[in-house]
Amino acid sequence: MTDPVPPVRRPLARRVPDLGSLELLLAVARLGSLSAAAREQGITQPAASGRIRAMERLLGVGLLHRSPSGSRLTGAGVLVSGWAGRIVEAAAEFEAGARALRSDRDSRLRIAASMTVAEYLLPGWLVALHDRLPDTAVSLLSGNSEQVARRVLDGDADLGFVEGVGVPAGLDAVTVATDRLVVVVAPGHPWARRRRPLTARDLTATRFALREPGSGTRQVLEGALAAHGGPAAPLLELDSTTALKAAAVTGAGPAVLSDLTVTDELAARRLVEIPVDGLSLTRELRAVWPTGQRPAGPARELLSLTVAPRAGAGG
């Protein structure tokens, strides 16, 4: 013997009046007039009459006595209006709670960014954000692109900024800028007097001062050289762009950095850029957030400030 199939129940939203109709009924009870209630609710009297009739059909009882002198609730209408009052009050509490959540969300913004993005791009974006949202408190966590992705996925940041060869798993992204990696050396390095561009073979045969594994800069360089045998073992591994620049300036060896990060050093001749032929070292900088969770509040506002085409940098 098979078990009886339970009856299919319509969703509650189809079995009870909507919130607007309940508010209308309460207004009629308070004002004693359907037309006055319609005006208060911002609808026409025919629309108000239609709502009351639809509610009566749904509930199967009459709710109003209509007369030239006004409208008054039936006995059933009095009962329904009492229940409606509790529902409307609960809805008001719900709305107030949601408003408080939005207020808390909009009062702060947590950003995670690769270190060079944090140093060279975010300051300008945050100044513009402050002009729009002066009361929003901003906190910034910096790290390499892998660390940024983890922080966004773990819910420790509302918005992240990464660079590299692709979008980290579990994240949606939009490109906010591009930059170009350059090979730089101190003026005393033999390459500073080189007349021909470097080739991919030159790069794979050279030990560079590089960022640590997980850095977008490192990922892009390794990806560009993968078809040529990959880069040689690093001469140095450093976990910040500033440290990498300092090592290159002091002559520790050639380094690969974003062109934006070495603008001052190149202009002052503390570093020299060495051209590279036949190898693309251009990359995309991306804003990232958890898949399916489009940024909201201050995160959305900041995102709108970053999507204009511009030169970029990454760590």
Per-residue pLDDT, 98: 73
Tens digit of each residue's pLDDT, the chain (315 residues)? 566 666 667 788 888 899 999 999 999 999 988 999 999 999 999 999 999 999 999 999 999 988 877 788 899 999 999 999 999 888 888 887 777 666 655 678 999 999 878 888 999 999 999 999 888 889 999 998 999 999 999 999 999 999 878 888 999 999 998 889 999 999 999 999 999 999 999 999 999 999 998 888 898 999 999 999 999 999 999 988 889 999 999 999 999 999 989 999 999 999 999 999 989 898 889 999 999 999 988 999 999 998 744 444 444
End-to-end CA distance of the chain: 68
Mark whether 100 and 177 lie in a shared domain.
no
Instruction: Give the three-class secondary structure for 46.
Output: helix
The pLDDT assigned to 102 comes to: 67
Report yes or no on 26 lying in a domain.
yes
Q: Given 104, 133, 162, which residue is the final one in a domain?
A: 104
Give domain status of residue 4, yes or no. Answer: no
In a shared domain, residues 298 and 193 = yes
164 and 255 belong to one structural domain: yes
Instruction: Supply the pLDDT for residue 106.
Output: 62
What is the structure's pLDDT at 311? 40
Long-range contacts of 138-141 (CB under 8 A, 24+ apart): 138/108, 138/109, 138/110, 138/111, 138/298, 139/108, 139/109, 139/110, 139/111, 140/111, 140/112, 140/113, 141/110, 141/111, 141/112, 141/113
- Can you give the residue range of the structural domain that contains 299? 108-306
Q: Count of domains in the chain?
A: 2
pLDDT recorded at residue 115: 81
pLDDT at 185: 96
Q: What is the CATH number of the domain that holds 35?
A: 1.10.10.10
